[in-house]
């Protein structure tokens, strides 16, 4: 289940939880949500929580012993098994007798039995940033008696739901210009870090007295990721504003940001080439979001930018960027390479 469904499920607490996936933000939130419901007081959490970090090579017998421990100083005993590898396909493929034909691992079988017959006072939370193998007997056992949170990384086109949910919890809203700006900032990031976004939204909400967050509020309060200044250059190029583009390029060169700028230009040109292809197939506007894996607003903006350039220009620029990347990595790069690329995009 996703995070929203997971939160709803906590109204009926289970004794076994697995939080698995690449998005550590959801895992951290999920663990805190569970512990907040089980322990009403901080001192209870301190006395009743056993932490086992599998990065330090904790074995299954240690985990079982912790799970079976009777509470002493608190009313509940909660075992938090962090960074477990028990649910990875490669780590324990041999315990799936139906697939491997090999005898099941007795320690895995003992763990499954323990999870199936938990004390009323005891709980266990497994966490991993690796995808869980649903074919594994241990996964099936957890799914049968407990709850599994699939903490998948957020995709660009899914950000609206997350943003709406987060603003609701903060009792804030954004006007249309602020929302567009926020989504544009996210679209520039190589990876969407929900921890970064969550912290910046909380900071903004703290300093904004009004219920509505404006674009000016975001620009004033949010810590601007380095990709934003690079994207301003991309905007200047698509606007065919040579003077502004060359000024921003000089700023990037002075700040020694050649590598991220080349990467961003490559990504943007590749997206425009793909957008032109799909537009030739009759897919336009926000409908480009699915094939380009972008937020609908950003997809529409990418399509509009792509329409301003010919196929030949984009193809030639893409090859020029490949050369620039090669020369940069081989120590032969010069700023004039990017200058020629910018000029070609604007004047062709």
What's the pLDDT tens digit per position in 271-301? 999 999 999 999 999 999 889 888 787 888 8
Residue 201: give the domain boundaries: 156-221
* Shared-domain flag, residues 7 and 140: yes
> Do 71 and 21 reside in the same domain of the chain?
yes
Query: Residue 144 has what pLDDT?
Result: 95
Q: What is the model's pTM?
A: 0.67
Quick one: which of 174, 176, 186 has its CA closest to 298? 186
Which of these three, 150, 170, 194, is where a domain ends?
Answer: 150
* Low-confidence stretches of the chain (pLDDT beneath 50): 91-98
Task: Name the nearest CA neighbour of 295 among 201, 196, 197, 163.
Answer: 163
Closest C-alpha to 200, from 226, 182, 173: 182
Dihedral over alpha carbons 142, 129, 31, 53 (to 10 degrees) = 90
* CATH code of the domain containing 41: 3.40.50.300
Residues 23 and 133 in one domain: yes
**pLDDT of the residue at 72:** 82
pLDDT at 58: 64
One domain for residues 252 and 274: yes
Where on the phi/psi map is residue 136: left (φ > 0), alpha (ψ -120 to 50), or beta? beta
217 and 263 belong to one structural domain: no
CATH number at residue 342: 1.20.272.10
Looking at residue 217, which CATH number applies to its domain?
1.10.8
231 and 184 both lie in a single domain: no
285 and 165 fall within a common domain: no
121 and 8, same structural domain? yes
| Residue finishing a domain among 184, 201, 221 | 221
Tell me, what's the pLDDT at 92? 41
Same domain, 217 and 294: no
Distance CA 13, CA 10 (A): 5
H or E, element range at 66:
helix 60-67
Picking from 150, 172, 207, the residue at the C-terminal end of a domain is 150
Task: Give the chain's domain count.
Answer: 3
Residues 19 and 135 reside in one and the same domain? yes
Q: Which pairs with CB-CB distance under 8 Å and at least 24 residues apart come from 293-301?
A: 293/155, 293/156, 293/157, 294/156, 294/157, 294/187, 295/156, 295/157, 295/159, 295/160, 295/183, 295/186, 295/187, 296/157, 297/180, 297/183, 298/156, 298/183, 298/184, 298/187, 299/157, 299/275, 301/184
> Do both 127 and 67 map to the same domain?
yes
Are residues 206 and 271 located together in one domain of the fold? no
245 and 342 in contact (C-beta within 8 Å)?
yes
Q: What confidence score (pLDDT) does residue 159 get?
A: 83
| pLDDT value for 97 | 46
């Amino acid at each position: 289940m996703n995070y929203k469904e997971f939160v709803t499920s906590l109204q009926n607490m289970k004794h076994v939880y697995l939080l698995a996936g690449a998005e550590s933000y959801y895992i951290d939130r999920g663990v805190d949500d569970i512990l907040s419901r089980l322990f009403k007081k901080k001192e209870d959490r301190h006395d009743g929580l056993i932490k086992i970090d599998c990065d330090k090579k904790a074995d299954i017998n240690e985990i079982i012993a912790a799970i079976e421990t009777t509470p002493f100083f608190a009313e509940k005993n909660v075992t938090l098994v962090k960074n477990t590898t028990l649910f990875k396909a490669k780590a324990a493929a041999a315990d799936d007798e139906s697939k491997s034909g090999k005898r099941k691992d007795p320690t895995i079988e003992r763990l499954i039995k323990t999870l199936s017959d938990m004390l009323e006072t005891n709980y266990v939370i497994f966490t991993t940033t690796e995808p869980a193998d649903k074919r594994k007997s241990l996964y099936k056992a957890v799914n049968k008696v407990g709850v599994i949170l699939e903490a998948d990384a957020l995709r660009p086109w899914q950000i609206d739901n997350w943003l709406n949910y987060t603003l609701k919890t903060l009792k804030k809203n954004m006007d249309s210009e602020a929302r567009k700006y926020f989504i544009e900032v996210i679209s520039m990031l190589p990876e969407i870090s929900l921890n970064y976004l969550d912290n910046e939204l909380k900071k903004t909400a703290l300093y904004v007295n009004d219920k509505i967050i404006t674009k000016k509020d975001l620009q004033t309060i949010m810590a601007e990721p380095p990709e934003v200044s690079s994207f301003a250059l991309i905007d200047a190029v698509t606007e065919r504003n040579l003077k502004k583009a060359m000024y921003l390029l000089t700023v990037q060169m002075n700040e020694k940001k050649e590598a991220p700028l080349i990467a961003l230009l490559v990504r943007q040109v590749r997206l425009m080439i793909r957008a032109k292809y799909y537009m030739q197939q009759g897919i336009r506007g926000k409908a480009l979001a699915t094939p380009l894996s972008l937020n609908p607003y950003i997809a529409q903006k990418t399509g509009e930018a792509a329409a301003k350039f010919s196929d030949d220009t984009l193809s030639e620029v893409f090859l020029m960027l490949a050369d620039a990347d090669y020369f940069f990595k081989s120590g032969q790069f010069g700023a004039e390479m990017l200058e020629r690329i910018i000029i070609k995009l604007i004047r062709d």
